[in-house]
Amino acid sequence: MIEIKNLDFYYKRNHQVLKDITMNFRAGRITGLLGKNGVGKSTLLHLIAGLQFPVEGTVNVMGYIPHKRQLNFLQNIFLLNEEVPETTLSIAKFEKVNAVFYPAFSHEDFVKYLAEFEITELKERIDKLSFGTRKKVFISFALAVNTKLLLMDEPTNGLDIPTKATLRKILRLRMNDERLIIISTHQARDLQNILDSVVILNNENLLLNAADSEITQKLYFGIATGNESPDTVLYREPSVAGDQIVRLNTANEESNLDVELLFNAAFQSKELFAKTFNIK
Amino acid sequence: MNSVKRIYYLIKRGLIIPYAIPSDFGGKRKSWQSSSYYFYLWFLLFAFSMGILRSTDFYSYESNVNGMVYGAVFTLIWPFVMTREHCKKINRGFAILQPATTTEKFLAFAIISLIVLPIHYICSSAIGFYLGQGLGSGLFHGNFIWAYDWSRVSLYVTPITVSLFFAATSFSLFVSLLIKNEKLQLVGMAAVLIPVVLAVPFMLGVYESGILPQLFSNTAAYVVYPLVAIAFLFGSFITLKRERA
């Protein structure tokens, strides 16, 4: 669905944000875009959405060049920014003036998602709502537009714990084979168990772009037994139950992907990590 | 949804949102300040004070008072209203990613900038000016004259042409950001800033004669501002088309 080739981007010449990035995003997946603060996660989303222009290289989304912002392209993507606008409109009025632009928008879905987030009064003015509630309104709208590509920048920021769980549930239910959801976050734990693939960015470069099945095939996540060869351990972290580790999955064992451990392993053992996933 | 309907909704959205003042505009924002009436009130109060001033002898010279008054109003406020707000929205990507064609956005922006908002502001400032001058004449001359000098065409034409000018320069900024054309962006910014720089000493009474007051005169406003405005609009549209080709 998205093909990125040799992408270079900078805001100022002496401060490169993305350098020679080549990667693909496939439809039918929820992809987590992870990275430390300021590595270019939001910038990459903006390049995919057509808000920014590549300095070098190409970005191709569903056959469109994003920054040309053609009508059919714009009708099939939605970018939910980290900061949501403070508008004086009521929820109902906001829906009225914005939903008309999206052919696949569903009022029923919008109301249903709002209800899941415990928002039932559509006459409330958006600027009167708390940040978290405002965010729930915009998340509901972003999901209800039913675009093929949904880009979410730090959607869990400002949400309480039950709401994060609700969001995970809705995202899983909304998935289908034609849709791609890319979620940028630096709070890896928030997206635990819903990601089908993971992309990790590190200063200018790509550290990982792999499906969860590939990750758990190559890496094992679990509690240390003490029999592991130190050469195979990428990351170790003490916990109540014992040391949690990420190690090479040499014996083809089954384990569940732990996004936070994966993220830490990627940064702690960069060379071994790159070698394991064939990243240049 | 057809093109006309999209333009209608773009205008409807654009009309509601440009009034919202960013939270960093001046400290903490109160709820009434975020309503569209805030800017109407602002214009009304500004024109009201200008009406009072005009009823005194302070602006006794007839030369360019209307052009100056409205020039000052639009010079100082318009760039904030249009440029700042649109730039902010562009950065957020909220307006720019709205599913509509570039031409539809161009038309919607042009209709908002050149027709709808100037009419709103002119009405607000006309009411303010009427009230200010009436009250001022009573306070300073003992005779309340509640009359607006409707016969003076300049009272309507000047604000329209001046607002056209600023709308057009703001628009060139909008376009330049849309297509990331840095040269056009610089020209647009300069065009917005130059009158601001010129207006300040003029308002302080530094220039009372010479070429600079003429720049703000009614005659100049009928000719210079519309021409520059049209040039900017035309230039922006051509640039936009060329970049899109």
Instruction: Please say whether the beta carbons of A43 and A82 come within 8 A.
Output: no
Give the Å distances, CA to CA, from A162 to A117, A118, A196, A225, A258. Answer: 9, 11, 22, 34, 20
Instruction: Please say whether the beta carbons of A44 and A116 come within 8 A.
Output: no
User: In Å, how far is B194's CA from the nearest CA of chain A?
Assistant: 27
Give the ipTM of the model, two decimals please.
0.73
CA–CA dist A154, A135 (Å, integer): 11
Q: Give the tens place of pLDDT for each residue, A223-272.
A: 888 777 777 888 888 888 788 888 888 878 888 888 888 888 888 888 88
A75/B93 Cβ within 8 A: no
Minimal Cα distance from A81: which residue of B? B92
Query: H/E element holding A79?
Result: strand A77-80
CA–CA dist A172, B66 (Å, integer): 63
For testing contact with chain A, the best of B97, B103, B185 (most A CBs within 10 A): B97
Residue B20 with chain A: CB contacts under 8 Å: 85-88
> Looking at the partner chain, which of B13, B100, B180 has a beta carbon nearest the beta carbon of A71?
B100
What radius of gyration do chain A's Cα atoms show?
20
Residue appearing with tokens 């054309």: B181
CA–CA dist A122, A113 (Å, integer): 12
A97/B16 Cβ within 8 A: yes
Instruction: Please say whether the beta carbons of A195 and A152 come within 8 A.
Output: no
Prediction pTM value: 0.74
Of B127, A19, A274, A162, residue with least CA distance to B119 = B127
Q: At residue B53, what is the residue type?
A: L
Domain assignments of chain A as residue spans, ordered by start: 2-203, 211-276
User: In Å, how far is B123's CA from the nearest CA of chain A?
Assistant: 23
A34 has which bridge partners? Answer: A185, A200
What radius of gyration do chain B's Cα atoms show?
19
Q: Give the tens place of pLDDT for each residue, B68-77.
A: 555 555 545 5
CATH assignment, A2-203: 3.40.50.300
Q: Going residue by residue through chain A (280 aa), what tens digit of pLDDT does each one get?
A: 899 999 888 877 777 888 888 889 999 999 999 888 888 888 899 889 987 788 889 999 999 998 878 889 999 999 988 877 777 778 998 898 888 889 999 999 999 999 999 998 888 888 788 888 999 999 999 999 999 999 999 888 888 888 888 888 888 888 888 899 999 988 877 887 888 888 988 877 788 888 888 888 888 888 888 777 777 888 888 888 788 888 888 878 888 888 888 888 888 888 888 888 877 6
